[in-house]
Amino acid sequence: MPTTSRASRCGARPPTRSSSCSRRAPASKPGRGGGQVSRSAPASPGRSERLGAWGPFRGPHVRRPPMELKGQVAIVTGAGRGIGRATALELARLGADIVIAEVDQHNADTTAKLVKDLGRRAAVVHTDVTKRAALATMAERTKAELGRIDILVNNAGIYRAAATLDVTEDHWDAIMDINAKAVFFASQAVLPTMIAQKRGSIVSLASMAGKIGSKTNLPYNASKAAVVSMTKSLALAHAADGIRVNCVCPGFVETDMWTMVARDQSKLLGLTPEEFTRQREKAVPLGRMERPEDVANVIAFLCTERAGYMTGQALSVDGGLVMHG
């Protein structure tokens, strides 16, 4: 969900005490947020910056904050496709240099080229997120080649469906190793650098599945619930170090993984993949399937100073499918 700035009532300049908009306003006229606007009262600290630093509101479109992440370095695991690629590109648009931590060399190289086309540096680090040593190497190479680590996006993940009695130990371990264990050890790998910098942002991919139950997704749901729990614990453990830790919980996202979801779930439910997808789309209050960019926009927001007072949060980005904590 793209973040929008509050509009100036004049539509041309952010409201300040010296603006013509402020001079015309009656002393007791209610503001847009329900407060009072006074000609004589001083603006609160940072008010003009909060209201107007990103440009005035112009109808349905808002000027994007320019290069909010300039000079920062972001690692995105699983950035070769889908949400990972969309996130890498969105962070690059905001000025970050990108490390693509990926096992698929071709997809990683494609993402790297797209990042470079945006004028940012890109490095590809072959990373098997199930190996702690590989994650340590990922962090070491990032610091050696790009000088710092400001952002980690734990995006790599897999999906596999099965009825409860059909879940095997291998199935359980595969899901947990990539979706949960890797999130912790990737975070652990970058934390020393972030602690030394006294700043950093970690954003992990959970899922709406981590907030609800499922008849046919138990290991997957459990792995995503683990991400939500780890997010809260890491946020508490490292808030004093200047590190913010959050996660996002997408819904039905049109990616290669969704093709697998529709295939596996439709078999278990006696539907075709197309029927399953149509049913799920109809269930979305906002009326459409989710795009990778919908998720990437929220991840990017969490990495910026606009989210500087947010940590330990699990944000639903699912078109309204889950409307509770």
pLDDT digits (tens, 9 = 90+) for 159-197: 999 999 999 999 999 999 999 999 999 999 999 999 999
Query: How far apart (Å, rounded) are the C-alpha atoms in residues 227 and 247?
Result: 8
Report the percentage of the chain scoring pLDDT > 70: 80
Q: Is residue 325 part of a domain?
A: no
First to last CA, the chain: 17
Residues 155, 263, single domain; the answer is yes
The pLDDT confidence band at residue 325, using thresholds 50, 70 and 90, is low
Tell me: do 26 and 124 sit in the same domain: no
The token duo for 60 is 């349905």
> What is the per-residue pLDDT across 239-278, written as a single tens digit (0 to 9) for each?
999 999 999 999 999 998 888 889 988 888 899 999 989 9
Which CATH number goes with the domain that contains 268?
Answer: 3.40.50.720
Q: What mean pLDDT do residues 211-228 have?
A: 96
Q: Is residue 23 part of a domain?
A: yes
Indicate the DSSP class of residue 153: E
Q: Which residues pair with 75 in a beta bridge?
A: 99, 152
Residue 216 and residue 132 share a domain = yes
My answer on whether 188 and 313 are in the same domain is: yes
Residues 219, 154 share a domain? yes
Residue at which a domain ends, from 63, 98, 113: 63
155 and 22 within one domain: no
Task: Kindly state whether residue 322 falls inside one of the protein's structural domains.
Answer: no
Residue 236 lies in a domain: yes
Going by C-alpha positions, the residue among 254, 316, 319 that lies closest to residue 286 is 319
pTM of the model: 0.79
C-alpha distances out from residue 65 to 54, 86, 229, 235, 307, Å: 5, 18, 31, 26, 13
Instruction: Tokens for 162, please give them.
Output: 């099965």
Average pLDDT in the chain: 85
- What are φ and ψ of residue 186, in 5° steps? -65, -40
Same domain, 87 and 54: no
Last residue of a domain, which of 63, 91, 107? 63
The reply to whether 36 falls in a domain is yes
Asked if 195 and 80 sit in the same domain, the reply is yes
Name which residue leads in pLDDT, 16 or 270.
Answer: 270
Would you say residue 60 has pLDDT above 80?
no
Pick the closest to residue 322 from 200, 159, 207 (CA basis): 207
Q: How far apart are CA 252 and CA 236, in angstroms?
A: 30
Structural domains in the chain (count): 2
What average pLDDT does range 304-319 have in this prediction?
97
Residues 59 and 105 in one domain: no
User: Are 136 and 10 within one domain?
Assistant: no
Asked if 72 contacts 96 with a C-beta cutoff of 8 angstroms, the reply is: yes
Please give the average per-residue pLDDT across 4-20, as a whole number.
40
Identify whether residues 32 and 118 lie together within a single domain.
no
Query: What residues have CB less than 8 Å from 301, skipping those under 6 apart?
Result: 3, 307
Least confident of 55-59, 242-246, 286-290: 55-59
| Residue ranges with strand state E in the chain | 57-58, 61-62, 73-77, 97-102, 122-126, 151-154, 200-205, 243-250, 314-317
Active site residue 159: no
Is 324 domain-assigned? no
One domain for residues 302 and 219: yes
Rounded distance, CA 97 to CA 75, Å? 9
Looking at the predicted structure, is the pLDDT value of residue 4 above 60? no
Residue 304 pLDDT level (bands cut at 50, 70, 90): very high
Range of the domain at 38: 1-63
Domain boundary among 10, 44, 63: 63
pLDDT for the residue 33:
39
- Residue 204's nearest CA partner among 317, 319, 80 is 317
Q: Which of 159, 184, 185, 220 is catalytic?
A: 220
